[in-house]
Amino acid sequence: MNKIRLILGLCVFALCFNSCSDFLEEQPVSEIPADKMWKTSRDAKAGVSEIYGLFRKTMRANYFYWGEFRSDNVAQGAPAANTQARVIDNLLTTDHACTEWTDLYRMINQANLAIKYIANIDMPSVSERNDLLGQAYAMRALGYFYAVRVWGDVPLFTEPNEMYSKDLYRSRTDKNEILNDVILADLKKAEELIDRTKNKERKRISIYGVWAVMADVYMWLEDYNLADQTISKMGNDPSFMAFEPEIETWRKMFVEELNGKSTDNTPENDEYTTKEFIFVIHFNMEEVGEYGYSYMYQWFTGGGNRAAVLSDKFVSLLEEDDLRKPYIMMDYQGGNELNKFIGGTISTTLNKTCQVAYPVYRYTDMLLLQAEARARLGKWEEALQLVKQVRDRAGLNTPTAIDFFSEDDIIDYILTERQIELVGEGRRWFDLVRTGKWKEVMEPINGMKDDGNELFPIHYSHIIQNPSIVQNPYYGN
């Protein structure tokens, strides 16, 4: 009989296998028969909550490894932080933890379970059931979107693996097939299913989160019209989603927004006051236990053990009168410390108890993405009007269209604004890969120049375990 795990304390369920597969390996705390699970509204809510729990576990370190550390935003911190330095210095090998996809596929499998079973659960509210199902589709899409951006072609599973089977050992599916036939298809289903009235939560996927991922995918596919149209949808409810025009409030949303806030997983109760955040990964010591706290403080503070500092190149981009500058960085113990989420110094004892939110998407990110889309569509003045909102908040002037000589010039300008505005938010490396600029930017810094180096290697254990998987060519056999 199939077994599904009950994770005590969270009341959520994950799979248990009688195999050595590390796709979904966990130590079972207790087990219940599969035919007793996915029967009630409580089961459905618990199952979807586990998707977010697994996503948080996946992204705790990979938020920085996958989206930040390979970019020109950062430089090596303390010599002791060798594990992070290997990524920063382009010395990735197939034994590095960030090359494992185990936790990401656990999340995807949990989404597959929810998609399979929730549709058949008799719940008091059809709209609530549809909303949970929509969240599962959206999170599966987001999981695969990270996978194809990090590794390119990856194994594809759209049905849950509920027991050991040779079907676990699949070859890789073309990334473009996954982008078009799975990720976009899932997001369109989520768009239909998500409850737009009651799902007002930034710690889980709302309709705005669906649109944010969708717009990002369209940009990767170079469908700039659809990216532009999708982002335009997001301005229809300013009570929930809006640009924050004040720099002081912009500052507070990163460092104070969660202060004194109690744990809340009720979708219809939006505990955030800011309208900027679309979807965040929320870390709260009381929620997730001893090892669930964020790495934000440990990796970016203190001269003796910090993993990374802001690079000299990044610092050179900051204009002297940029109001963001003192809020982004602090000269501390011989390095330009990323201070965006911290707001000063903090003890290594206290940092583990602080609530932190990693922004996966926020509204300014979307506005600057839309500016890029419009610039590529030849709408330069419209693009710069979007950028102007961001620079006005920073106390800076914005050039006009006649100041640019080519599309490349204006795109580079917008990408630089994205780099400054979104530093520390796991976006810069993906922007470099998406726009094909990773070689010209990174070769002078860490020697990245060969095709295939933009992908991460696949962890050696996955290849030993599954002979159908072939390593990304840059990393040999």
Which residue, among 71, 225, 17, 58, has the nearest Cα to 145 in the 3D structure? 58
Which pLDDT value is given to residue 242? 93
Give the CA angle between residues 354, 107, 295 to the nearest 5°.
Answer: 25
Which pLDDT value is given to residue 263? 58
Which pLDDT value is given to residue 200? 87
- The answer to whether the CB of 72 falls within 8 A of the CB of 311 is yes
Indicate the pairing of strand 308-310 with strand 12-15: unpaired
Provide the 8-state DSSP code for 263: P
What's the rounded Cα separation, in Å, for the pair 431 and 231?
A: 17
What's the rounded Cα separation, in Å, for the pair 23 and 35?
A: 23
Mean pLDDT by 10 residues, the chain (477 residues): 33 34 35 67 93 93 97 93 94 97 96 95 93 98 98 96 80 97 98 94 94 98 98 89 94 81 65 89 68 78 85 97 94 88 61 74 98 98 98 98 97 98 98 98 96 97 94 91
Q: Which domain, by its residues, includes 146?
A: 3-475
What's the rounded Cα separation, in Å, for the pair 352 and 404?
A: 47
DSSP secondary structure letters along 393-423 = HTT-----GGG-SSHHHHHHHHHHHHHHHTT
The CATH number that applies at residue 79 is: 1.25.40.390
> Which residue is listed with tokens 């930040």?
68
Beta-carbon count within 10 A of 67 CB: 25
> Encoding tokens for residue 281?
């990964």
Which pLDDT value is given to residue 462? 96
447: left (phi over 0), alpha (psi -120 to 50) or beta: left
Which pLDDT value is given to residue 25? 38
Number of domains making up the chain: 1
Which pLDDT value is given to residue 426? 97
Beta-carbon count within 10 A of 450 CB: 11
- The answer to whether the CB of 179 falls within 8 A of the CB of 130 is no
SS3 205: coil
What's the rounded Cα separation, in Å, for the pair 265 and 96?
A: 34
What's the rounded Cα separation, in Å, for the pair 454 and 274?
A: 35
pTM score, two decimals? Answer: 0.91
